[in-house]
Chains A and B, each alone.
Chain A
Amino acid sequence: MTTNAPAIAFEVSRATRASRTGGALAAVFVVFLATFPWWADHGWMREFNEMACYLIFAMMWNLLAGYGGMVSIGQQAFLGLGGYALVVMGNFMGVNPFVAVPIAAVLTMLVAIPVSKIAFRLQGGYFAIGTWVIAEVFRLSIANVSAVGGGSGTSLTALRGIEKATRVSVTFWLCLISAVASVALVYWFLRSRQGLALLAIRDSEIASESQGVNVRATKLGVYVVAAFGAGLAGALYFLGNLRISPDAAFTVNWTAFTIFIVMIGGIGTIEGPIVGVVLFWLLNKYFSEYGTWYLVGLGLLAIVVTIRFPRGLWGYVSHRFDLHFFPVQRRLVLREPPKD
Chain B
Amino acid sequence: MSAILALDSVSKSFGALKVTDNITLAVDHGETLGILGPNGAGKTTLFNLISGDVRTDAGRVSFDGRDVSREPPHRRCRLGIGRSYQIPQPFGAMTVFENLVAAASFGSQRPEKDTYDRAVEILRETGLLSKANRLAGSLTLLDRKRLELARALSTSPKVLLLDEIAGGLTEHEAKELVEEIHRIKAQGVTMVWIEHVVHALLAVADRLFVINFGQKLAEGEPEAVMNDAEVRRVYMGLEA
Residue of A nearest to B94 (CB): A199
Assess whether A40 is interfacial by the CB under 8 Å rule: no
**18 extra interface residue pairs, beta carbon distance < 8 Å, beyond A193-B111, A200-B91, A207-B89:** A2-B187, A5-B124, A10-B116, A12-B97, A199-B91, A199-B93, A200-B99, A206-B85, A207-B85, A208-B102, A211-B151, A212-B106, A213-B106, A214-B74, A330-B101, A331-B133, A332-B95, A338-B129
Q: A332–B120 contact, CB under 8 A? A: yes
Complex Cα gap A340–B131 (Å): 10
Assess whether B107 is interfacial by the CB under 8 Å rule: yes
Q: B95–A10 contact, CB under 8 A? A: no
CB distance from B104 to the nearest CB of A (A): 9
Known interface pairs A196-B102, A329-B98, A338-B129; A208-B91 also in contact (CB < 8 Å): yes
Residue of A nearest to B109 (CB): A212
Q: Contacting A197 at CB < 8 Å: which of B102, B127, B133? A: B102
Assess whether A215 is interfacial by the CB under 8 Å rule: yes
Residue of B nearest to A337 (CB): B130
Assess whether A209 is interfacial by the CB under 8 Å rule: yes
Residue of A nearest to B130 (CB): A338
Complex Cα gap A338–B134 (Å): 14
* Residues in B whose Cβ lies below 8 Å from that of A12: 97, 116
For residues 125 through 145 of chain B, which have their beta carbon under 8 Å from a beta carbon of chain A? 125, 127-130, 132-133, 136-137
For residues 166 through 223 of chain A, which have their beta carbon under 8 Å from a beta carbon of chain B? 193, 196-197, 199-200, 202-204, 206-215
Report whether over half of chain A's contact residues are helix, strand or loop; otherwise say mixed: mixed
Assess whether A31 is interfacial by the CB under 8 Å rule: no
Residue of A nearest to B77 (CB): A212
Complex Cα gap A329–B97 (Å): 10
* Residues in B whose Cβ lies below 8 Å from that of A10: 116, 120
**Among B125, B132, B136: residue with most chain A CB under 10 A:** B132
A contact set with B: CB distance below 8 Å: 1-2, 5, 7-8, 10, 12, 193, 196-197, 199-200, 202-204, 206-215, 329-332, 334, 337-338, 340
Assess whether B92 is interfacial by the CB under 8 Å rule: yes
Complex Cα gap A212–B105 (Å): 8
B contact set with A: CB distance below 8 Å: 51-53, 72-74, 77-78, 83, 85, 89-95, 97-99, 101-103, 105-109, 111-112, 116-117, 120-121, 123-125, 127-130, 132-133, 136-137, 151-152, 154-155, 183, 187
Q: B112–A193 contact, CB under 8 A? A: yes
Known interface pairs A193-B111, A329-B95; A338-B103 also in contact (CB < 8 Å): no
Residue of A nearest to B89 (CB): A207
* Residues in A whose Cβ lies below 8 Å from that of B154: 211
Q: B98–A196 contact, CB under 8 A? A: yes
Known interface pairs A196-B105, A210-B77; A203-B91 also in contact (CB < 8 Å): yes
Q: Contacting B94 at CB < 8 Å: which of A1, A203, A332, A338? A: A203
* Residues in A whose Cβ lies below 8 Å from that of B136: 203
**Among A196, A215, A332: residue with most chain B CB under 10 A:** A332
Q: Contacting B74 at CB < 8 Å: which of A1, A8, A203, A213? A: A213
* Residues in B whose Cβ lies below 8 Å from that of A2: 121, 125, 187
* Residues in B whose Cβ lies below 8 Å from that of A209: 53, 72-74, 77
Q: A202–B102 contact, CB under 8 A? A: no
* Residues in A whose Cβ lies below 8 Å from that of B103: 211-212
* Residues in A whose Cβ lies below 8 Å from that of B133: 331-332
Q: A215–B74 contact, CB under 8 A? A: yes
* Residues in B whose Cβ lies below 8 Å from that of A8: 120-121, 124, 129
* Residues in A whose Cβ lies below 8 Å from that of B89: 204, 206-207
Q: B112–A206 contact, CB under 8 A? A: no
Q: A207–B116 contact, CB under 8 A? A: no
Residue of A nearest to B83 (CB): A210
Complex Cα gap A2–B126 (Å): 11
Q: Contacting A210 at CB < 8 Å: which of B53, B99, B109, B121? A: B53
CB distance from A203 to the nearest CB of B (A): 4
* Residues in B whose Cβ lies below 8 Å from that of A213: 74, 102, 106
Supply 11 A–B pairs (Cβ within 8 Å), ascending by A: A12-B97, A196-B101, A203-B136, A209-B73, A211-B74, A212-B78, A213-B74, A213-B106, A330-B97, A330-B98, A340-B124
Complex Cα gap A337–B129 (Å): 9
Complex Cα gap A8–B122 (Å): 11
Complex Cα gap A340–B120 (Å): 13
Complex Cα gap A5–B152 (Å): 22
Complex Cα gap A7–B120 (Å): 9
Residue of A nearest to B79 (CB): A212
Q: A200–B125 contact, CB under 8 A? A: no
* Residues in B whose Cβ lies below 8 Å from that of A340: 124, 127-130
Q: B106–A197 contact, CB under 8 A? A: yes
Residue of A nearest to B99 (CB): A200
